[in-house]
Amino acid sequence: MSLQLDARQRAMLAEMGVRVWTPEPAPAPARAEDAPRRAPPAAAFVPAPVPARDAAGENPESIANNDYSTLGSGKKESKTAATTRPAVVFPAASIASVPGPTAALQARPPGIAAMDWPALQHAVAQCQACGLCQGRTQTVFGVGDVSADWMVVGEAPGEQEDLQGEPFVGPSGQLLDNMLKAIGLSRRAGADAPAAPGSPGAPASLHGVYIANVVKCRPPGNRNPHPDEVALCDAYLARQVALVRPKIILAMGRFAVQSLLQTNEPIGRLRGRVHHYQGVPVIVTYHPAYLLRSLTEKSKAWADLCLALEVMQQAGSKR
């Protein structure tokens, strides 16, 4: 795909710290699958070191161990359910009752797979199925256009997300917003998307995106979510995907990827290919919080966005 960038997109990429390279003729790789997508010339690219676990024992591809906080285009004429969707704003689980530290855990409510948006949001807000409910300020359900073609799936709420009730806020959220804007998307665009506080709304040129995390409650101390916590919570994400019915999913970060794709393979080995979840193409990429710590990986994240755009174009998107 030949991606044409206008001055604004180039400015956005500059904000991300991503250089836009003009492809030069390069020798063909030995095998097509070995060729990196839109990789910069070797002289211009400094490979990042192999991710290592930090002092806290956490994988740096994951964001749940830091203070950054976590994260819908046009209407889909083929989505018959879209006409019946309520205009839902999901920044905060205002009806959540926060249990005390000794509250007993309860089973998830039945029928999640058949819930509509209000019922699903209520179920998440009331959920006490795992121990993460005991330390949350509020659940972090999701934000954006519930009819979006694009969906971003992150990992678990951080401190600011827990406080604000919205995924991907803080520095990593700003980077994500810049990345999305570079490809014409905004969490504040779309008929169902909430406007930013004090803002007239997103420019009409931007399309919507829906953003959610795999885990809806903040792990204490921003630790990584445990596998049983991810397993208990992912039914809510599955229903969100079924309700949004996106045309493409960007899976950001190790736990998002592992939950959606049911694999333990590292992100580096899953990138550059099209996976599927509920029949929806999934593109794997790094979490923005990781990119903030590993600046040399931004070019890879940009290549992942380009792959996602290519998949969307091949799918005949209106965009």
Site of interaction with ligand SF4 (CB under 6 A): 124, 127-130, 132-133, 139, 215-217, 229, 232-233
Choose between 216 and 239: whose C-beta lies nearer to ligand SF4: 216
Choose between 72 and 157: whose C-beta lies nearer to ligand SF4: 157
**CB 220, min distance to ligand SF4, A:** 12
Choose between 162 and 297: whose C-beta lies nearer to ligand SF4: 162
Residue 264 CB neighbours (<10 A): 8
**CB 162, min distance to ligand SF4, A:** 11
Choose between 46 and 103: whose C-beta lies nearer to ligand SF4: 103
Choose between 130 and 243: whose C-beta lies nearer to ligand SF4: 130
| Separation CA 306–CA 37 (nearest Å) | 9
| Separation CA 236–CA 240 (nearest Å) | 6
**CB 194, min distance to ligand SF4, A:** 21
In terms of Cβ atoms closer than 10 Å to its own Cβ (0-12, 13-18, 19+), residue 108 is: middle
**Beta pairing, strands 143-144 & 280-285:** unpaired
**CB 284, min distance to ligand SF4, A:** 22
What residues contact 176, with CB distance under 8 A and at least 6 apart? 71, 152, 168, 211, 252, 288
| Separation CA 295–CA 270 (nearest Å) | 20
Count of alpha carbons within 13 Å of 243, Cβ hemisphere only?
Answer: 29
**CB 166, min distance to ligand SF4, A:** 15
